[in-house]
């Protein structure tokens, strides 16, 4: 297999500073790039900013600023500076106001005009400024206020009648359907591919690609008509090619055919239905894969975004907990298929349980044993017995498994598999009892155990490096292990005899009760565990499908101090752990809940009660005497299973 990899993020609008959604997408791409580089792939990672269009023009007008000065500020001090501060590994940062980009867009426009794929016509339709495109009635959803909007937009679309240049999009529809059918892995995960095929079942019309300068002066001029500027999506999508220097350039030749575009599901249509025909019409090869990710939800259960006022500030999270903890929690808590809630409490829970407890404690235990038993020197490794052999075998297998999971877009599974290895090393400490072995005259076994632990931690640090790049290096620095490593099966690379550094706490634990009361914690009342009585009106299957129910196993449970009704449950849902508060303390003791299988509302927005974030709800019924009864599966089935 040719080991070349080009990954792009969406280029972000500069109408506001970066929020957690932007940070998330960029961190996912950074992690993809890092895993590929670590595995020896020739990798190129691009991000950037989208600086033209109505949205930016409107913002500038409102602020009374000049566009150039404004976009420079947000692009440079907002986006570019943040990625630099976080040490992201992007090879380039493209801005659509750069001459290299403008010239390329004009070249492609001219090419399509000359080949007859662009024509001039009058058009009337509904335009969403939020999403910068014409929308169809079918795409709109009625809000609680009775007004129809595109999902995720704050404002409803406006009716527009305008003379524009058009790209002959509809002409490419049959070809596109065929291409998607021939390339089942082009758009992943598969649920998004199906959505695109669904969009293509009916005519898609042609794409309006220009705006009159008189109304919108902020755009790239149409080369043959100074009265119009390019439509912002036509401009923006081409960044992926202009950044490589366009056709014929060395970078283009090396990377373009191995392109993976990473985008949020909000811009699925533009990257499939618009972009693929644009590439085809321009005579450019198509991308290898469109990777689509779901959304991060704010405390109100809606897509996190600046305009809805529900966004978590990524800079604040990073300055409190560090970039590695933020990266870890985001990547471990989300999946590409389904939206995920995220907030400070979720981050802190992950930080405490996985990073401080599992990983941090392992390192500090091993460090202190080295200090006590070997004078802070890495011991020699003697004969491996079955237990050590099994650790070694797992370590040798993991690099390939992890790269497969990452390329298969199962980041949370990849991380969990590495953490399972870490937890196994913790179990090995408990089983092998080095403190007892140290009392023996013969230190052979003690040394083998300690070496196995150090080497195991080294392997874990390499596997985790793309997720927690700074801490991975810090782990090895503490163990006195020098040099860079690759994602390849290897065992025994730690040098015996080298000196370890003084031990420091890798991830300090955070007291969850001390989290500041913020917007997310406004909700303080007890959530009733009682399922609401069914209302008279019927709901469609699509409404029911919005509620994700899953079987969970109660791992531990305790009463919430000073709350009569609340139990704090830690549940396993498949390989995921969650905290759920439930107002059932009057009906169940904490002890009797442990081990029970329950049904939880899995995609309920988290709510904070008494300073603790509840990440779901347990289903229960109320009997004829008003006593609450938990709903459980009728026979023992694994946790994580969907309930439908």
Q: Which residues bind ligand ME8 (CB under 6 A)?
A: 10-13, 21-22, 24-25, 50, 236-237, 239, 263-264, 266-267, 295-296, 303-305
Minimum CB distance to ligand ME8 smaller for 234 or for 373: 234
- Residue 265 CA to residue 244 CA, distance in Å, equals 25
Contact at 8 Å (CB) between 324 and 316?
no
Tally of CB atoms within 10 A around 3: 11
**Cβ at position 52, least distance to ligand ME8 in Å:** 10
Minimum CB distance to ligand ME8 smaller for 295 or for 447: 295
**Cβ at position 236, least distance to ligand ME8 in Å:** 4
- Residue 35 CA to residue 1 CA, distance in Å, equals 16
- Residue 410 CA to residue 255 CA, distance in Å, equals 24
**Cβ at position 349, least distance to ligand ME8 in Å:** 20
Minimum CB distance to ligand ME8 smaller for 135 or for 367: 135
Minimum CB distance to ligand ME8 smaller for 336 or for 421: 336
> What are the tokens at 639?
């946790």
- Residue 348 CA to residue 362 CA, distance in Å, equals 19
> What residues pair up with 297 in beta bridges, in sequence order?
303, 341
Peptide bond into 589 cis (omega under 30): no
**Cβ at position 233, least distance to ligand ME8 in Å:** 7
Mutual angle of helices 361-374 and 444-464, in 10-degree steps: 150
- Residue 457 CA to residue 149 CA, distance in Å, equals 51
Minimum CB distance to ligand ME8 smaller for 96 or for 352: 96
Minimum CB distance to ligand ME8 smaller for 267 or for 573: 267
Nearest partner of 606 among 532, 522, 530, judged by Cα:
522
- Residue 596 CA to residue 418 CA, distance in Å, equals 28
**Cβ at position 88, least distance to ligand ME8 in Å:** 15
> What are the tokens at 332?
């471990």
Minimum CB distance to ligand ME8 smaller for 5 or for 274: 274
Residue linked to tokens 């997408």: 25
Within 13 Å and on the Cβ side, how many CA atoms surround 9?
32
- Residue 91 CA to residue 125 CA, distance in Å, equals 40
Minimum CB distance to ligand ME8 smaller for 239 or for 494: 239
Residue 613 CA, chain-centre distance (Å), reads 20
**Cβ at position 10, least distance to ligand ME8 in Å:** 4
**Cβ at position 467, least distance to ligand ME8 in Å:** 18
Sign of torsion over alpha carbons 31, 187, 18, 304: negative
**Cβ at position 584, least distance to ligand ME8 in Å:** 32
**Cβ at position 302, least distance to ligand ME8 in Å:** 9
Sign of torsion over alpha carbons 85, 86, 92, 96: negative
Tally of CB atoms within 10 A around 337: 17
Minimum CB distance to ligand ME8 smaller for 10 or for 529: 10
**Cβ at position 234, least distance to ligand ME8 in Å:** 10
**Cβ at position 12, least distance to ligand ME8 in Å:** 4
Minimum CB distance to ligand ME8 smaller for 308 or for 384: 308
Contact at 8 Å (CB) between 573 and 550?
yes
Backbone angles phi, psi at 441, to 5 degrees: -60, -50
Minimum CB distance to ligand ME8 smaller for 335 or for 470: 335
**Cβ at position 256, least distance to ligand ME8 in Å:** 15
Helix (H) or strand (E) holding 340: strand 340-341
> Nearest residue by C-beta to ligand ME8?
21
**Cβ at position 318, least distance to ligand ME8 in Å:** 17
**Cβ at position 472, least distance to ligand ME8 in Å:** 25
Residue 363 CA, chain-centre distance (Å), reads 27
Contact at 8 Å (CB) between 265 and 292?
yes
Cα separation values, 538 from 534, 535, 543, 544, 588, Å: 9, 8, 10, 10, 33
Contacts of 151 (CB under 8 A, 6+ apart): 141, 303
> What are the tokens at 561?
């101090």
- Residue 342 CA to residue 299 CA, distance in Å, equals 8
Residue 122 CA, chain-centre distance (Å), reads 41
> What residues pair up with 134 in beta bridges, in sequence order?
127
- Residue 38 CA to residue 490 CA, distance in Å, equals 13
* DSSP line for 343-354: -HHHHHHHIIII
Minimum CB distance to ligand ME8 smaller for 22 or for 578: 22
Backbone angles phi, psi at 484, to 5 degrees: -100, 155
Minimum CB distance to ligand ME8 smaller for 229 or for 551: 229
Minimum CB distance to ligand ME8 smaller for 241 or for 598: 241
**Cβ at position 275, least distance to ligand ME8 in Å:** 8
Minimum CB distance to ligand ME8 smaller for 11 or for 351: 11
């Amino acid at each position: 297999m040719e080991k070349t990899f080009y990954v792009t993020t969406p280029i972000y609008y500069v109408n506001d500073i970066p929020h957690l959604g932007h940070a998330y997408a960029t961190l996912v791409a950074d992690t993809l790039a890092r895993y590929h580089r670590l595995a020896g792939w020739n990798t190129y990672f691009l991000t950037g900013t989208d600086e033209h269009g109505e949205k930016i023009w409107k913002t500038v007008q409102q602020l009374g600023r000049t566009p150039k000065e404004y976009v420079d500020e947000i692009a440079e001090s907002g986006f570019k500076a943040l990625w630099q501060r976080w040490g992201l590994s992007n090879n380039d940062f493209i801005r659509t106001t750069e001459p290299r980009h403008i010239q390329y867009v004009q070249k492609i426009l001219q090419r399509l005009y000359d080949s007859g794929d662009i024509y001039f016509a009058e058009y009337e339709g509904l335009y969403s400024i939020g999403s910068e495109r014409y929308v169809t009635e079918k795409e709109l959803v009625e809000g609680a206020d009775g007004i129809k909007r595109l999902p995720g937009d704050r404002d409803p679309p406006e009716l527009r009648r305008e003379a524009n240049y058009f790209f002959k999009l509809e002409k490419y529809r049959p070809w596109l359907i065929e291409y998607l059918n021939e390339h089942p892995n082009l758009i992943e995960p598969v649920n998004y591919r199906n959505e695109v095929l669904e969009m293509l079942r009916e005519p898609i019309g042609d794409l309006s690609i220009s705006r009159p300068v008189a109304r919108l002066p902020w755009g790239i001029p149409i080369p043959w008509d100074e009265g119009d500027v390019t439509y912002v999506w036509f401009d923006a999508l081409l960044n992926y090619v202009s950044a490589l220097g366009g056709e014929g350039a060395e970078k283009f030749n090396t990377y373009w055919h191995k392109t993976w575009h990473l985008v949020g599901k909000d811009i699925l249509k533009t990257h499939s239905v618009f972009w693929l025909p644009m590439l085809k019409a321009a005579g450019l090869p198509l991308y290898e894969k469109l990777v689509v990710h779901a959304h991060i939800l704010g405390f109100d259960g809606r897509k996190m975004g600046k305009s809805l006022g529900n966004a978590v500030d990524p800079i604040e999270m990073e300055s409190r907990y560090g970039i590695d903890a933020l990266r870890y929690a985001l990547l471990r808590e989300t999946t590409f298929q389904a939206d995920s809630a995220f907030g400070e409490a979720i981050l802190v829970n992950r930080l405490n349980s996985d990073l401080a407890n599992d990983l941090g404690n392992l390192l500090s235990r091993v460090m202190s044993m080295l200090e006590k038993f070997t004078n802070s020197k890495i011991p020699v490794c003697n004969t491996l017995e079955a237990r050590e052999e099994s650790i070694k075998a797992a370590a040798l297998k993991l690099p390939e498994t992890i790269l497969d999971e990452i390329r298969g877009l199962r980041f949370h599974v990849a991380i969990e598999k590495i953490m399972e290895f870490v937890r196994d090393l913790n179990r090995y400490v408990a089983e092998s009892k080095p403190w007892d072995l140290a009392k023996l005259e013969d230190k052979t076994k003690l040394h083998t155990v300690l070496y196995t632990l150090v080497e195991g931690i080294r392997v874990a640090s390499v596997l985790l490096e793309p997720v927690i790049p700074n801490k991975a290096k810090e782990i090895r620095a503490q163990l006195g292990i020098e040099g860079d490593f690759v994602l390849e099966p290897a065992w025994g690379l730690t040098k015996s005899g080298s000196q370890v550094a003084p031990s420091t706490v890798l991830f300090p634990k955070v007291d969850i009760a001390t989290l500041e009361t913020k917007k997310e914690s406004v909700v303080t009342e007890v959530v009733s565990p009682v399922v609401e009585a069914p209302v008279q009106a019927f709901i469609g299957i699509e409404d029911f499908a919005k509620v994700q129910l899953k079987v969970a196993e109660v791992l531990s449970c305790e009463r919430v101090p000073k709350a009569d009704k609340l139990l704090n449950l830690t549940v396993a849902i498949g390989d995921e752990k969650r905290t759920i508060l439930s107002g059932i303390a009057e009906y169940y003791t904490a002890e009797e809940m442990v081990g029970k299988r329950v049904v939880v509302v899995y995609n309920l927005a988290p709510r904070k009660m008494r300073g603790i974030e509840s990440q779901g709800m347990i289903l229960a019924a109320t009997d004829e005497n008003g006593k609450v009864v938990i709903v459980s599966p009728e026979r023992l089935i694994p946790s994580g299973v969907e309930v439908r």
